[in-house]
Chain A
Amino acid sequence: SQQGEEDPQALSIQEGENATMNCSYKTSINNLQWYRQNSGRGLVHLILIRSNEREKHSGRLRVTLDTSKKSSSLLITASRAADTASYFCATVETSGSRLTFGEGTQLTVNP
């Protein structure tokens, strides 16, 4: 079964708006990672946040982690049409090293 569950499953916004995607998970984790996938092909690593971190920034990306609620959010600010993709969260449990992926959020940014 999938560890992470993304919400919403699909999101459609206008260029320039912010996009927020959420991820919930079930077990204790060592870290949580966000990936992007274009057109059902290879994934690109975006950002990693460790369990002892609460917020992390990278360019237009902001990730938060709330371990008490077992949830994370990915915020993309000032979205662009090129941000259109599927976004996945993936967790690494404290007991292991395997990445477990959620089912993703399909983001569409309309020009």
Chain B
Amino acid sequence: GAGVSQSPSNKVTEKGKDVELRCDPISGHTALYWYRQRLGQGLEFLIYFQGNSAPDKSGLPSDRFSAERTGESVSTLTIQRTQQEDSAVYLCASSRAYPRQGQETQYFGPGTRLLVL
């Protein structure tokens, strides 16, 4: 059906609060990725899921960041005790299958723009 969707589009929060960002991948896509993009910079890999397991969490910047995924469906990225340096656009992508050597095209959502005051 439709492409990858993310919510909310924009989120403004106060330093120290927790936030949850949601990603709905394309139906049938088994792989799901989270990236962070700071203003004027490229994308930083955070984590990817194959189904509901996360084989690679090495990009998560600190233990304040966590993510989970329900089956091959929705994923949530949670940032606890937000800091101002967490301000960025958080992008989610999905692909059809486990990316054997990156051959599968990733389809990106529009992102969530997070601002921590």
> Are A88 and B43 interface neighbours, CB within 8 A?
yes
Q: How many A-B residue pairs lie within 8 Å, measured between CB atoms?
A: 65
Q: Does B101 contact A (CB under 8 A)?
A: yes
Contacts known (A42-B91, A45-B107); A30 close to B41, Cβ less than 8 A: no
Within A61-102, which residues are at the interface with B (CB < 8 Å)?
88, 90, 92, 94, 96-102
B87 → chain A closest CB, angstroms: 13
Contacts known (A42-B109, A43-B108, A98-B48); A31 close to B103, Cβ less than 8 A: yes
* Among A31, A45, A94, A103, contact of B106 (Cβ-Cβ < 8 Å): A45
- A-B contact sample (12 more), CB < 8 A, given A41-B111, A45-B107, A101-B42: A4-B42, A40-B39, A42-B4, A42-B109, A42-B111, A43-B43, A43-B91, A43-B93, A98-B102, A99-B102, A101-B43, A103-B40
